[in-house]
Amino acid sequence: MAFSEYEHLKLVRRGPVGWLLNNRPDRLNAMNADMRDEFAVAWRELDADPEVRVIVHTGEGKAFQTGVDVAEIASDGVGMERYRQSVEDFDLHFTAWHQQVEKPVITAVNGICAGGGLHWVADADVVIAASDAQFMDPHVSVGQVVAIEAIGLLRKMPVEAVMRMALVGRYERMSAQRALELGMISQVVDPPERLRDAAQELAEMIARNSPAAMAATKRALWGALETGLTDACRAGARELVGMWGHPDQEEGPRAFAEKRPPRWQAPGGAGAR
Amino acid sequence: MSPEPHEAASGYRTLEVRREGPVGWLVFDRPEAGNAMNATMLQELESAWLELDGDPTVAVIVNTGAGRAFQTGLDMVQLSREPEAMREQSRRTKRAELRLTAWHNGVDKPVIAAVNGVCAGGGLHFVADADVVIASSEATFLDPHVSVGQVTAYEAITLVRKSPMEPVVRMALAGHHERMTAARAHQLGILSEVVTPPGRLRERAQELAETIARNSPAAMAATKRALWGALETGLSEACRAGGRELIGMWGHPDQEEGPLAFAEKRPARWQGSSTDHAAPADGAGTAATGGATGGL
């Protein structure tokens, strides 16, 4: 199965890993309207590809992602208004979470991640970063509000750090090391050039687990961010029970006993909502 | 350098309220009592937060303590000797109508807690409810409530929403028998900076506040509403509400001034203060945002 053609993204398959690369390095991978539309298609395409078990998202060039392309906003006469309807309806489609991707998604932050770039940190399942990666949120320094990406982050990590980044704006950057301490990311890769190898290794490791069990686990854990604790446990229990009787639950222990890799049922379908 | 008062404190008996450039200082000022809150301080806190939030010359507020302690909660001595004086406070506690902190008082402006020493029990309210928290390397944190037969609730509930839970519950259950260091609080993300030597805390708080004061007051007020509001609801609902705050700023003059100032390499001239513009702009007009950065 070949991927579609993209202008601002690159899709690559390496073994069980589908790679999504931000590919506007000359614009620090800032997102213009076309790139935004391509994201919507790319996530769906990778999620539907039966050969892809885990998705890695990273950037080409020196930056990971720097949010909305202000040059386009400032020059085309449409400005932020292009986003009004989608923001009003919270009908966004540029992250894996927006697109309800069932497969595990690893964000590999390869350099600066600024402002709207934090969407892909907030909305990934697993985040790793190169040792020279940096995080910042310049919105309030140019009169813009910080909301959705920081809201996602503050559900997942200590709030004070998110609030500080939002209010200090462009005058301070968080290092990859501090992001690791805070649990915003789980691994710092040094030297930074090894980031893609490390991401591929991690993705292949995750790809050894049951796709159906991971999809249900994702639903249970992300769903828990929506409700109070007891409701989340109830909904989680339904995911738990939903897997009972699934072939992977016989195959897993058998493969373990026979000391061979398990043959999981192909993803896309079994765990579908 | 320790900031000197530019104005005489205006009639507060238990607080020191002063301005230093764009920064409003709210200082607990009962050093002889570990800055514990007596009935007078409980009243004065509400006035002080509202005074600083309403002052157009103040862009950012710093909260710290005079003397060796930051804040040690309700004044137990007064509570035992003059229960009458605390009656109004008990009523407010019962109705969850506290007016101690910036959050209780709906402060729009960024608030930095600068923890200068021990922060105990009810003192944790001011750490939990601040936007940004820094501490001197000598600061310590503890919650003695259960050691004197009191329940820990509000302050720990907020901390549990904002930082890893196990350390908060441990602090609540260990009572006065254990203290958390500033270094551990930093690791856990309860605070973002440990200042050493401890004597430099106020200077550093002033610096950080002045840095934050360079950002758009209206954008920061809307950001605060979006992020604090997100602690109230589920993720998707919070994102929807946050989206409304985003759009509410579109068309605001600060959104043209910000990129313009950046391009012209000069400080931005933001419109008024956050309190003057608490209501979101109507969103009419253009929202051109140029600038030399890659994106937002």
**Interchain CB contact of B133 with A (< 8 Å):** yes
Interface test with B, best of A90, A98, A144, A185 (most B CBs within 10 A): A144
Neighbours of A118 (CB within 10 A): 28
CB-CB contact of A108 with A120 (8 Å): no
Distance CA(A235)–CA(A243), nearest Å, equals 13
Angle between helices B87-94 and B39-54 (to 10 degrees): 60
Q: What class has domain B15-212? A: alpha beta
Nearest CA in chain B to A182: B189
Q: Model confidence over B191-245: pLDDT tens digits?
A: 999 999 999 999 999 999 999 999 999 999 999 999 999 999 999 999 999 999 9
pLDDT tens digit at each of 273 positions of chain A: 678 999 999 999 999 999 999 999 999 999 999 999 999 999 999 999 999 999 999 999 999 999 998 888 778 778 778 888 888 889 999 999 999 999 999 999 999 999 999 999 999 999 999 999 999 999 999 999 999 999 999 999 999 999 999 999 999 999 999 999 999 999 999 999 999 999 999 999 999 999 999 999 999 999 999 999 999 999 999 999 999 999 999 999 999 999 999 999 986 544 333
Contact A151 B188 (CB under 8 A): no
**Interchain CB contact of B163 with A (< 8 Å):** yes
Distance CA(A104)–CA(A97), nearest Å, equals 11
User: Which residues in chain A touch residue B222, judged by CB atoms under 8 angstroms apart?
Assistant: 145, 147
**Interchain CB contact of B154 with A (< 8 Å):** no
B113 vs chain A: nearest CA distance in angstroms? 11
What DSSP letter does each residue of B136-164 carry, written as one string? ETT-EEE--GGGGT----HHHHHHHHHS-
Out of A30, A70, A148, closest to residue B290 by CB: A70
Closest CA to B113 of B126, B100, B99, B98: B126
A89 vs chain B: nearest CA distance in angstroms? 7
Q: So what's the pLDDT on residue B235?
A: 95
Position A175: which residue type?
A: S
CB-CB contact of B250 with B214 (8 Å): no
Q: So what's the pLDDT on residue A1?
A: 63
Domain map of chain B by residue range?
15-212, 217-277
**Region of residue A86 (left: phi > 0; alpha: psi -120 to 50; beta: else):** alpha
Contact A142 B259 (CB under 8 A): yes
Q: Model confidence over B235-291: pLDDT tens digits?
A: 999 999 999 999 999 989 999 898 889 889 999 999 974 433 333 333 322 233 333
Nearest CA in chain B to A31: B295
Q: What class has domain B217-277? A: mainly alpha
Give percent above pLDDT 70 in chain B.
89
Phi–psi pair at A76, nearest 5 degrees: -100, 5
Q: Model confidence over B142-190: pLDDT tens digits?
A: 999 999 898 999 999 999 999 999 999 999 999 999 999 999 999 999 9
The DSSP symbol for A264 reads P
**Interchain CB contact of B248 with A (< 8 Å):** yes
The secondary structure element, H or E, covering residue B134 is: strand B132-136
Neighbours of B87 (CB within 10 A): 11
**Reported pTM:** 0.90
Q: So what's the pLDDT on residue B92?
A: 79
